[in-house]
Every structure is written in structure tokens, then in C-alpha cells.
Structure 1
Amino acid sequence: MSDTPKNSRALRSNFGIGSSFWAVRRAQWRALGLSDDDMTRPKIAVINTSSELAICFSHLDHIAERVKQSIRDAGGLPFEVRTAAPSDFIHSAGSAGRYILPTRDLITNDIEVQVEGAQLDGMVCLASCDKTGPGQLMAAARLNIPTIFVICGYQDSGEVDGQHVDIEDVFLGAGHHAMGAISLDRLTAMSENAIRSPGVCSGMGTANSMHSVIEALGMSLPGTAPVRASGTKMLDNAAEAGRRIVDMVWEDLRPRDILTEAAFENAVKTVFALSASINTVKHLQAVATEAQSGVDVYGMYERFMDDVPVLCAVRPSGTSSIEELEDGGGARGILKQLGPLARGDARSVAGKSLAELLEGYTPPTDTIRPLSDPISDRPAIVMVRGNLAPDMAIIKLGLRYDRKLKVTGPAVIFEQPNDAIEGVRTGKVKAGDVVVLRGLGLKGGPGMGMASRLVFAIEGAGLGADVSVVTDGQLSGLVNKGLVVGEVSPEAHGGGPLGLLVEGDMITIDVLARRVDADVSPEEMARRAAALPAPALSDQRGWLSIYERAVGPMDKGATLGPVDS
């Protein structure tokens, strides 16, 4: 922690008295009821994604008020700033889910415009649904002003006929219903009872994964992820973060002081130890890119996947509940149990190193296993390459090593998710096939379409153990049944190998060899590539058109605009 005393350094938000910026700002803020003394204080943005469109965000205004009051009490001046608020379950209805990933970057740019344009001194980010945490982290890394995160909690789930049901079960159940595997009455009952409070999905999907990653990176106070959205602990955490950000501004403790290689190592290892979401890969890489850190997150996943065992597996990957993980120590417990695998030299918004924060700490329950007795010593996320994915692709296995880990089958190719689902329903897709769903990538979408409905339809048709999927689209961070290779890079659009396949080409997925290949010679691939027309921009309008033109490569996290090489 810096020894710099409070009030001893100039704040960028304080302009020279009598200057144009000072005069017009004073006129605006005096009209808001602020005093001249208020205007000398550290000016803190409270980044809020409140929205009435999704239950994930419905409680954030209450949290924002707690944070703002705490900032005032600590001598700061809070300003609430709103951004886009995407929910996968709501906003994936339009354009086949292609708005979801691009909205992450819209959040980042929302924050830049409002915080950098106004020259505020610090930020408190309210992390909620899947894309808010990553978008906020990217903004923190880009702007590099003191920033702290408040983890805004997971929802309570329910029961149907004595059986646990949550939103993930509803998502999967819809795929089963589409194939006739469950009744409409059953699906309706599940949707009626799945959610019992505000907050994010209660499984170890992308939201809870990213909440744990935020703490593992050192960007939230220790012991704050995951957390019940319906409890008082979350509000206490919010108040503490509001107090802490004011000190961080005076200390000039910035995100790039924290987002070091050691921090990213801890985050990646936390993902493996929790059997967490595959979507963390591209989000962490995007944060590293925005921080101009030079960290190769994809390389870290490849390097560490065989070294880090699974220490806790929350539904749907395992049998533990998210409540049990929280009560067992959460991200802090994971980092403690990782022992020598964790980088103790990483820093935190608390102003201490990870080693200092974990000194004397013992997880309160045995939910999180020690390194000596893991749930599994095999990687829950497998990074693969091959002639279909020369850059990279991802398989989320979780704990499912009791199934076929090497399959070979003929390609059955679809360009649209609905066509693929219809192919499953009508019997075009058969046991032993490898379904190729392509054209859903960053530019081909544009915006990276969602492939999970196809995966769930295959499972609902009873083909989950016998049909594999290879796609350049993105997948649910929660439930991926069967052997599914996602986010194939380079994507099909623009001549990637996935776009060169023809119906019937034999594909081999070999988990243990870390390969995904087509039995097509390099010469034949080159011939097919030469026959392709030059890629053209889509006729998409609006935000997706902007995204298509600006998005960078997946290995840089699919960030917008130029990136450092």
C-alpha cells in the first residue's frame, strides 16, 4: 500500500479555477446541488448496468445507493453512470444471439466515453451478468484509473416436484422439449420455479466464473465472490468497496499495477480449479490486451491445463451448489487450496499481495478440496489445435472423462442454428455424425452467434453421446453436453479451414491428443480455398455492422480497434 497521505496529490478531475472547464462544470454541478467543497473531492464513477429487462440487474440500483453513500462517507463524490445491460437469456433472441459478445465491447466504450470524457478519478464497477464484468474489466484496463469491483451476486433457484431447478435447467429443458423429450407442462413448471430472487445464474456459468476471476485477478476485495444476491454480505461488501476506492484514488493504485502476469496466472488457474466457463478464455485475453500487458492468456490456458486439478465442481459441471462454494471460501478458498500453484506476489485492490491476504486463512468447510485430494486431476477445459483449428479451439469437458474421448465421423454441415436444429429433428443428423455449424464467428456472424441451442437439441434427441459438434460459434458457459468443439479459430468466414469442409469429410476429435482434424490433404484444402470468392461484408446495419468492421482477432480477445502485436 502506498505511503502517500490523503489529499497530497493533484486530482485530474480538478481544473484550474477560472478556466473554461472549471466554469462550465461548476455551472452544471452547482445546478445539481453540489457545493464548491464537493467539487474538490475524488470523483468516483459508480458503473451500473441496472435494467428492467432481466432479473440479473433488477437489484443493482439498491447496491449503487449503498456504494454511493459509502463513497460520500469516505470523502469522495460519487456519480452513477449507466451502460448497456445484456442478458444472454433476453438479448440472444435477436440476430441469433449475435448481439451478446459485441455488447461486452459496447459496455467498455460506454464507460470510456463517460469516465474518460469527464476525467473522473476512479471507478466502482457493479459486476453482474455475463458480459458486464468482462466489459468493465476491459474498461478498467484501458483507462487505467483506480478501480474496484463489487460482485453483485447470484440468484436463489427453486424446485419442481422436489427436484432442484434453475435457469440452466430451463435452457436445457427447452432443447429437450423441442425434440419431444419433455412436455410443455413440465417446461412451463420449470420456468415458473427456476428463479426465486434477483442475481445471476446460480450455476458455474460465465457470470459466477467471471465473478471468481475478478477476485482472483485482485480486482475485488478478498472474500467477495461468489455471493448471494439475496443476502446482507453483498451489501456489506459494496459499502466496503465504496470506502476503499477513495483511498485507492489517493494512493494512485491503478489496474495495471494489479493486472500483471501473476494476476492472470491466478485467474486462469482458478478457472481450471473450478471447472469454470470456457468463455473466461476470450474475456481474460481481452482484458490483457486492453491492459497492454503482453500476456498471452490463450497460451496460459494451454500451458496450465494439465497442471491444475479440479478442486470444486459446482452444478452443472459437478454436484456442489454455488451456495456451498461461497460458504466454503469461494475464490479465496480456491486460491488458498491451490497452494504453491498460486502466485503469491500478485497484488490486490486491498493494497496487499495475495500471499499477505491468504496468510493465516483456512477455508471454513471441505467443499474445496486440497491439491493432494482433488475431485479430478484431468483438465475441465481442453484447448485443441489441428488442421481445422490451427489457431485454437476449446472443449469444455468438465468431469466427463467416462465417455468417448476420440471420435471420427462424417461432417454434416449447417450454416444456421435453426437449420441445424431442424436437421436433428428430422433425422438428417444421425449417430456417429460430426455436426459442423459454421459462419457464426466474429466477422461471419457478425458478432459470434450462439451454438448452444443446437447442442441441447442433440441432447434432447437422445444423441448426446453419439453426435459431436464443431463450430466457430460460442457456447454456453454452463452446460455443454456431448463432445463439442467451440470457438474454432480461424473462423469459417474469410477462408478458415472450417469454411472449406464439404459434406461427408471425415473429422476426428481427439481430446487426449488435443487435436481436431479433417481427413483432407493440404493440397485439397488449398484447392478449395483458391475456389472461394473473396469474403464480403454482410448487409448488417447498426452496431453489428460497426463490430464486424472493427473487431480484432480471437487470439487478442476479440477487442475492437488496433491492438499491440
Structure 2
Amino acid sequence: MSLRSNFAPGSTPWAMRRAQWTALGLSDEDMEKPKIAIVNSSSGLASCFSHLDGVVPPLMAAIRAAGGVPFEVRTAAPSDAITSAGRAGQYILPSRDLIANDIEVAVEGALLDGMVCLASCDKTTPGQLMAAGRLDIPTIVVGCGYQPSGVYRGEHVDFEDVFLYAGHVATGAMTVEELAEMASVAVSGPGVCAGMGTANSMHIATEALGMALPGSTPVLANSPRMWADVERAGRRIVELVAEDLRPRQILTEGAFRNAVTAVLAISGSVNCIKHLQAIAVEAGCDVDVLALFEELAPQVPLLTGVKPNGERRIDEFEAAGGAQALLYQLRSLLDLASPTVAGATMGEVLGGAVVADAETIRPVDDPLARHPGITVVRGSLAPEGAVCKRTVADDGVHRFSGPATVYSSREEGLAGIRNGEVSAGDVVVLSGLGLRGSPGMALTSAFVFALDGAGLGDQVVVVTDGQMSGLVNKGLVVAEVSPEGAVGGPIGLVRNGDRITVDVDARTLELEVPEAELARRRAEQPPLSAPRGCGWLSVYARTVSPLARGATLGG
């Protein structure tokens, strides 16, 4: 086959490559084979990635057995649990684009022929898919599994419980000793968080896109199924290179409709919206993902309730058939002609799907609930949209109107809770936390959990241009308000006492302040100055595009 990794004998690139690769033990025959990158987003900082180095050797063996030559390349490996400590979580979202650029430098710089990407924590999957769309070389994404959980005082406990109850400690509703005991047993092995947070949501969305092998998500990390999927991927990537089946042939509008449908059916992470949009931008697919969520939300019922959306665990969802069973139940709503990395269409792939437990993954005509798992709201406070997450029970507040209490950071808000500044009936506005203002879109979940710990979770609404964790959510939260305050969005003009009304059913978010007053406030706003410096967040702030383009780089 014709391979881009092979150069004319006697040329300078051929000679340099031969010298380097001979020293690595490659033979003359190897030099002519498909060269496959194993993209390992691994780190010793968190259990999310601690098993990935062990995945590489058997994957290499499978690629060699199939007639390819594997090369391991490394990328940044951010963990929301660990990397969020610095700069109030501002490094988290920008790390996604750093991963994509890491891959471009290593894989495009070396002109390798294909990639197998080892996906783990939240930002690795979208970063790898963005790179796949950008480079457009044959790629398979392998979801490397969720972590096993533990038992705390006789009850099941996992990482999302630790995340939630840390907010209770901040308000005195739980002791440090109790939280320490819970944290020490919540995670009992490697892998991503064991709930329907961003990681598992994006793994499932990847299979719905057609970029993961059928039946590979979700999966328990280091389980026999995971190892079988790794071997399958090693064999299949060499075939994929021979077939020249590329991501841009797979990442079509139909594929994104399928992914949005799957995310809605599981009430997946709201972070999937910006990640899917970023992947579409990088793949050159002209699709408005936010508009797809708005269009499809009324049509797609909730088919499963995995924690934190319901009472089911992720291992029960996997046992019920996982993403394949979910997509099979959704088949009447899917684009079945969409191609997949398996070499078959989505319809052909789903012909062999099995739903092992129709109570855990329900059919479309007998769902758990019919309200949207994710609701996009718009209005005078969010002209370009904002997002709300809804659980299966959906027993919280749907319409709320109250006076604004405004803070410009998560820390200010936490101090406000401790000082008794936040009262029942308030709409708490956390502004200036968006892509440019933060920069990097700061995490605000700790504030929401502290509200819950203070007994105000269902009595206060939070509105922010920052982001929420995809793992857990409490109360009514309207996040990712766009345009953000730092670039002149109305959320940056809100003052204490202004009345704000949110109506989830009507899909509206309104700031009840006369336009003349808003114009006066806008005129008083200092212009946004571009940050200086060589640091990654400074570079990100100068180059990041709006949420409508998935917060990709390049303006």
C-alpha cells in the first residue's frame, strides 16, 4: 500500500529516519509497514491514568501481529480531580487543546499513518478526537475504562460522593474526619470516575460518533473486556490504514446527530456540548451542536438513570449492554447510514446488538422520563445560550425569579456563603469566569456543593459564565452563559438586586433591567485587555474562540 510514512530511498528524510529507527531495532521490512501512533495520555498524578502504561505493550503486540509498526507518543494528561487545584480550575479546559496540539506535533511531524488513542479522564477523549479530525488519518479511540468503587460504612461510595460531600465540609455539615474516611475508600482502582460524568459520557459519545469500536464503552478498567477491546483496536487500526478510512469520512453531520441523541438519552455531561462542537470544527464539519441539542432535546427521552442522574451504577449500565444497547434502543432516532471505524455502518453494527436488561436501558416507547436531560436556555441574559442539567427525577425547581447576588470568583462566592450573604430566594451570579475572563472557564461546582451543604441547594439558583463539573450537579444551575461577561455579555452587567428569571420549561433566562440602564453600565465597563506573557493560560486567552466554535483555538 502507499503510505505517507515512506520516503524515497536515498532522500534526506529517508536516511534520517533509517538511522534513528534502526537504532530502535526496526528492520528493513519494518520500514515499509504502516506506522501507527499509540497516543498515551498518561500520568502518575492520578488514578485516572495509572493503568495506561500497562495498556501499551499488549496494544503494541496486537499492532505488530497485524502487520504494523507501533510507536508510543505522549501527551499532557490532565485529571479534573488533580489538575483543577491550580488557578481555580482554569487549566482544565485549555488542557484539551494542549492534548490536540501535542498529538499534532508528534504524529503529523513524523508523518505516521494512523493512531490508536488511549482515552481516559474528561479532556483526553475530546482532545484526541479533535486531533483525529484535524490530522484526518485513520484513528481508533479506545476508552480505557471506569474505576472500581468502594464501600463507606456499609454503603456504596464512589468519587462523585467525595466531590459532593467536600462541599458539605466547607459549611460544617460534615466533618473532615468523615470526609477523609470516605475519600480513602471511594476509589479502589484505576480508571475514570464511576458515574455518568464527562468521561463516561464522552466515551459513549465516541462510540455513537463511530470513532470507537462497537461494544467498547463503557468498560471496567483492567477488565477482560477492556483487554479484548485493546487487542481488537490493535488489529483493526492496521486494516483501517489499508482501507484508508479517515475520521472526516466518519465525523459527518449524521454522526454528530447520533452523538447528541446518545448524550441526551443518558442525561450526559453538559460539557459534551462544547467538546462535540470543538471536534466538529476540527473535522471541518459545518454543524451547530448547540442547535442540535435544542432541536433533539424534545424528541429524545431519557432511557437510563446512572448516578448522579438516577440510582443505577455504571457497571449496571455496562452489564445491560452499554453503548451498543443504548444505540439499539435509539435506532429509530439515529442516522443508521453513518460509517464507523468497524468498517460497517451504524445500522449494520447495531444489527448484532443485545439489550441484556431493558429496565436499565429502556426502549424509546417506555422511557424512564420524557423531559430533556439537558436544556438550552436563551434570553436577555444569555442571547447566545446557556445550559441546564436535569436528572431523571427532575424534582427540582423549574421556574425561579429573584434578586441577584453577584460574585466575580468561586472563592468570593464561598466566602459569601460562610458570611451569610446568600439567602433563600437569591439568584447567585458568578460572572467573569468564562473562556477569556477566567481565562479557561473556571470550575464552579465547589460553590454549588457548598450551597447544598448549607441547606440552600433547592432554594437558590446559580447563573454563571463558568463551567460545571460533568460529574455531579445539585439544584438549578445555569452554566456557560454566552456571551461571557468579560467580552461584553449581559452577565457582566448584572448588579446586586437586579431581578433575574429563569424558566427551564420555557427555555428562557431573562435579566429584568431596562436596556437604557444596561447601555449605561456597558459604557462604564473598561475594555478587555489581552493578557501578556508566555504562560499557557495567557496564550489560551489570546487565541480561544467563542463557545459557538467549541472554544477551539485560532479565533
Tell me which interval the TM-score lies in, with the shorter structure as reference length.
Answer: over 0.9
> Paired residue for 1:434?
427
C-alpha deviation, 1:273, in angstroms: 0.6
The one of 471, 477, 484 equivalent to 2:477 is 484
- 1:312 maps to 2:304: yes
Alignment partner of 1:27 out of 6, 19, 24: 19
Conserved in 2, the CA contact under 8 Å of 1:170 and 1:191? yes
**What is the DSSP-based 3-state SS (H/G/I as helix, E as strand, rest coil) of the residue aligned with 1:516?**
strand
1:528 deviates by 1.3
- Of 278, 291, 299 in structure 1, the residue corresponding to residue 291 of structure 2 is 299
TM-score by length of 1: 0.97
Matches within 5 A, 1:52-451: 52-366=44-358, 367-451=360-444
Deviation at 1:339, TM superposition (A): 2.6
Provide the alpha-carbon RMSD of the alignment: 0.9
**1:102 touches 1:544 (CA, 8 Å); kept in 2?**
yes
Q: Match of 2:480, SS?
A: strand
* Residues 324 and 354 in structure 2, CA contact (< 8 A), matched pair in contact too: no
Say if 1:448 and 1:473, in contact at 8 Å, map to a contact too: yes
1:406, 1:510 within 8 Å by CA — same for their partners in 2? yes
Any gaps of 5 or more consecutive residues in structure 1?
1-8
Contact 1:339 / 1:371 at 8 angstroms: preserved in 2?
no
Residue 56 of structure 1 aligns to a residue in which SS? coil
1:532 maps to which residue? 525
Return the alpha-carbon distance in structure 2 between the equivalents of residues 399 and 96 of structure 1. 30
- Residue in 2 that maps onto 1:6: none
Distance 1:45 1:398 in 2: 39
* Distance in 2 between residues matched to 1:184 and 1:549, nearest whole Å: 40
Q: CA deviation at 1:154?
A: 0.2
Q: CA deviation at 1:538?
A: 3.6
Match of 1:454 among 447, 450, 453: 447
**1:39-89 residue CA offsets vs partner (Å, 9 max, x unmatched):** 110000000011110000000011111111100000000000000000011
Equivalent of 1:513 in 506, 512, 524: 506
Could you tell me how far apart the structure 2 residues matched to 1:321 and 1:499 are?
39
> Which residue pairs with 2:548 in the alignment?
555
Q: Does the 8 A contact of 1:314 with 1:325 survive in 2?
A: yes
- Name the CA distance, whole Å, in 2 between partners of 1:550 and 1:539: 12
Q: Deviations over 1:196-219 (max 9, x none)?
A: 110000000000000001101000
Residues in 1 aligned to 2:132 and 2:424: alpha-carbon distance in whole angstroms? 47
The alpha-carbon deviation at position 451 of structure 1 amounts to: 0.6
Deviation at 1:149, TM superposition (A): 1.1
Q: How many residues align?
A: 554
- Partners of 2:190 and 2:527 in 1: CA distance: 48
Contact 1:156 1:230 in 2 (8 A): no
Letter in 1 for 2:546: P
Alpha-carbon distance in structure 2 between the residues aligned to 1:332 and 1:512: 31
Give yes or no for the alignment of 1:470 onto 2:469: no
Aligned partner of residue 180 in structure 1, secondary structure: coil
Distance 1:434 1:558 in 2: 27
Q: Distance in 2 between matches of 1:211 and 1:359?
A: 21
Change in CA separation of 1:177 and 1:539 when aligned onto 2, cut-off 3 Å? farther
Per-residue deviation, 1:361: 2.8
Asked if the contact 1:197/1:230 (under 8 Å) is kept, the reply is no
Q: CA deviation at 1:31?
A: 1.1
Query: Is the CA contact (8 Å cut-off) linking 1:213 and 1:271 kept in structure 2?
Result: yes
Paired position in structure 2 for 1:495 = 488
- Asked whether the equivalents of residues 165 and 194 of structure 1 are also in contact (C-alpha less than 8 Å), the reply is yes
Q: Secondary structure at the match of 1:384?
A: strand
Amino acid across the alignment from 2:157 = V
1:360 Cα deviation from its structure 2 partner = 4.3
2:468 is matched by which residue type in structure 1?
A: L
Q: Which amino acid in structure 2 is aligned with residue 385 of structure 1?
A: R
Q: Which runs of 5+ in 2 are unaligned?
A: none
Per-residue CA distance 1:209-260 (angstroms, 9 max, x = gap): 0000110100011000000003111011001100000000010000011001
Q: Distance in 1 between matches of 2:312 and 2:533?
A: 43
Q: Identity of counterpart residues, as a percentage?
A: 57
- 2:93 is matched by which residue type in structure 1? L
CA contact (8 A) 1:492 1:499 kept: yes
- Work out the CA distance in 2 between the residues paired with 1:58 and 1:356: 35
Work out whether residues 533 and 539 of structure 2, in 8 Å CA contact, stay in contact via their aligned partners in 1.
no
Q: Partners of 1:133 and 1:32 in 2: how far apart?
A: 29
SS in 2 for 1:530: helix
Do the aligned partners of 2:467 and 2:479 also contact (CA within 8 Å) in 1?
Answer: yes
Deviation at 1:295, TM superposition (A): 1.0
- Aligned residue in 2 for 1:4: none
Distance in structure 2 (CA, Å) of the matches to 1:418 and 1:541: 26
Distance (Å, rounded) in 1 between the aligned partners of 2:219 and 2:427: 39
Give, in angstroms, the shift of residue 420 of structure 1: 0.2
**Counterpart of 1:364 in 2: which secondary structure?**
coil
Structure 2: how far apart are the matches of 1:271 and 1:157?
A: 23
Shift of 1:400: 4.2
Instruction: Tell me the TM-score normalised to structure 2 length.
Output: 0.99
1:164 is displaced (CA, Å) by 1.3
Distance between the aligned counterparts of 1:480 and 1:14, measured in 2? 50
SS at match of 1:385: strand
- Using the alignment, how far apart are the partners of 1:189 and 1:163 within structure 2? 13
